Structure 1
Amino acid sequence: MTDRIADLDTLDAKPRRRPRRNADQNRAAILKAATAEFATHGYAGARITRIVTKAGSNPRMIYELFGSKSELYVATLESALGALRTEELTLDLMHLDPLDGLLKLLDFMSGHFERNSHLVSLLRSENMMKARHMKKSARIQQMSSPVLGMTTRLLARGVAEGRLASDIDPLRLYVMIAALSQFHCANVHTLSSMFETDLSKSEWRAQRRDDARKMLAAYLTRGRDEVGKS
């Protein structure tokens, strides 16, 4: 009898209403869901219906806050890259020895890409579309300038102190650091299958990171007499 009364009470109980969210909370929930959707399915395969379901929102809210699927995708790219740039700029590198500072930048980027596989997926997808959406974002272009400036200043100080090779281009160096940080992440499944080794294991990645540090240090500190040799 008690159980039956409990069942009746349950039937009579009103469903809980979802707490009302403000625009910032709705935007954050939609961006989180969109990041997972675009990272998993790419731009073409992503579906607004799945995004609103995961976000607990509705299509009207997406178009009200972002304007279109394309603009939501750009906002997702900005959010993912913005997180990387924000963390990069919190790195206290300028007081370090130039070589140590650049190696610390490599350590940070390696860890960030390994922790944020969605960013690797988003960048891979956007590259396949020749950065069509990224080109629409002035914000993404502005994000890169401070980091490149930091790299330039570390290099310049290292050259002035006679500690680093003098022919290193800051942009090419940053691209090299990015490549050393994410190639294994972007290709983890294919490489793991081809060589029957799990490249996602922490032990393998720690060894790879150590190899990358040695390679970068050797490149940055090579003798002046070796500059220009193949």
Structure 2
Amino acid sequence: MPRKPASPAPAKSGATTLTHRQRLAATTRARIFKTAIREFADKGFSGARVETIATRAKVNIRMIYHYFGGKEALYIEVLEHVLANLRDEERKLELDVERIEPVNGILQLYDFTEGHFAAHPELLNLLSSENLNRARFLKRSKLIPKISSPVLDMLRTLIERGEQTAVMRTGIDALHLYVLLVSLCYFHKSNAFTISRMFDTDMLTADWQAAHKRQAHEVIRAFLVSGSQTAHAALSIAAIDDL
């Protein structure tokens, strides 16, 4: 009886196949890391406990030191992760800064940042905590200085186009504008619990947040066009209408 032809050997893949042990290790590390983000975001570096992270991640405390080297190294990696995630999302922005109307483009950058903060409250908490630490741990990160943001370049382009077309005031600094946009996204979220209590108003309701966003749009737009030829033209038309 003739032999059947031998089956061809499977092609070797360039990708390395993980063993069961490696997959288990990766899953364990990811579970520890996810738990650590919540713990540090809720309690800051000083309040967070390695023991609590281990218990909630259902691992032996030695595993945290094995995978991360200790509490400080784990905290720095958490900071790097949340900031890198923000930068990654910024790079995905589909904003044609060479074509979009400049003021609307800047308002879209505000909307993106406001939306990211709303979706990632852990980022707000971690930044607030690290500010209390005077950026003590951020300074120890070798990765964070290399995480570049495309937003400043976008703002510079939009500012330049806005000035050239006289729809925006002149002399706006991109970094100052970025800080202004972030502050309008940040304060009413990071301080919502205390201010809500002080003024007996729930600032975390969807209606209040939406109203604040509309007001922020008005503030940004007024700042950008104040003193521009467009603003002067609008004032002149309004003056004529009043006659």
Say if 1:39 and 1:119, in contact at 8 Å, map to a contact too.
yes
2:127 to 115, 123, 129: 123
Q: What SS does structure 2 have at the residue aligned with 1:81?
A: helix
The match for 1:111 among 115, 119, 125 is 115
Which residue number corresponds to residue 42 of structure 1? 44
Which amino acid in structure 2 is aligned with residue 39 of structure 1? A
Q: Aligned pair in 2 of structure 1 residues 47, 120: CA closer, same or farther (>3 Å)?
A: same
64 and 149 in structure 1: CA distance in 2 versus 1, 3 angstrom threshold: farther
Higher helix share: 1
Distance 1:118 1:145, change over 3 A: closer
**1:31 aligned partner:** 33
For the residues of structure 1 that align with 2:148 and 2:176, how far apart are their CA atoms? 13
Offset at 1:57? 2.7
1:167-222 alpha-carbon deviations (Å, 9 max, x no partner) = 11111111111100010111111110011000000000000000001100111111
Letter in 2 for 1:26: T
Moved over 4 A (4+): none
Residue 142 of structure 1 deviates from its aligned partner by 2.6
Q: 2:55 aligns with which of 53, 56, 59?
A: 53
Matching residue within 102, 109, 128 for 1:98 = 102
Q: Distance in 1 between matches of 2:119 and 2:46?
A: 25
**Residue number among 123, 147, 152 corresponding to 1:148 in the alignment:** 152
User: Which 10-residue stretch deviates more, 121-130 or 148-157?
Assistant: 148-157
Confirm or deny that 1:184 pairs with 2:226. Answer: no
Q: Which amino acid aligns with 2:217?
A: R
Q: Is the 8 A contact 1:114 1:182 kept in 2?
A: no
Counterpart in the other structure of 1:202: 206
Residues in 2 aligned to 1:154 and 1:208: alpha-carbon distance in whole angstroms: 24
Residues 1:24 and 1:164: Cα distance change in structure 2 (over 3 Å): farther
Contact 2:51/2:61, CA 8 A, preserved across alignment: yes
Could you tell me whether the CA contact under 8 Å between 1:39 and 1:121 is conserved in 2? yes
Q: How many matched pairs? A: 208
Offset of residue 224 of structure 1:
4.2
CA distance in 1, matches of 2:64, 2:129: 22
TM-score of the superposition, structure 1-length normalised? 0.84
For residues 36 and 136 of structure 1, what CA distance do their matches in structure 2 show? 21
Cα deviation for residue 61 of structure 1 reads 2.5
- Post-superposition CA distance 1:30-87 (Å, at most 9, x none): 2211111011111011111111222233333222222221111011111111222211
Tell me the distance in 2 between the aligned counterparts of 1:201 and 1:162: 38
The residue aligned with 1:7 is none
Gaps of 5+ in 2: 1-19, 232-243
Identical positions, percent: 42
- Aligned residue runs from structure 1 range 129-144, under 5 A: 129-144=133-148
For residues 87 and 42 of structure 1, the distance between their equivalents in structure 2, rounded to whole angstroms, comes to: 24
1:159 Cα offset (Å): 1.8
Whether the aligned pair in 1 keeps the contact of 2:166 and 2:228 (CA below 8 Å) is no
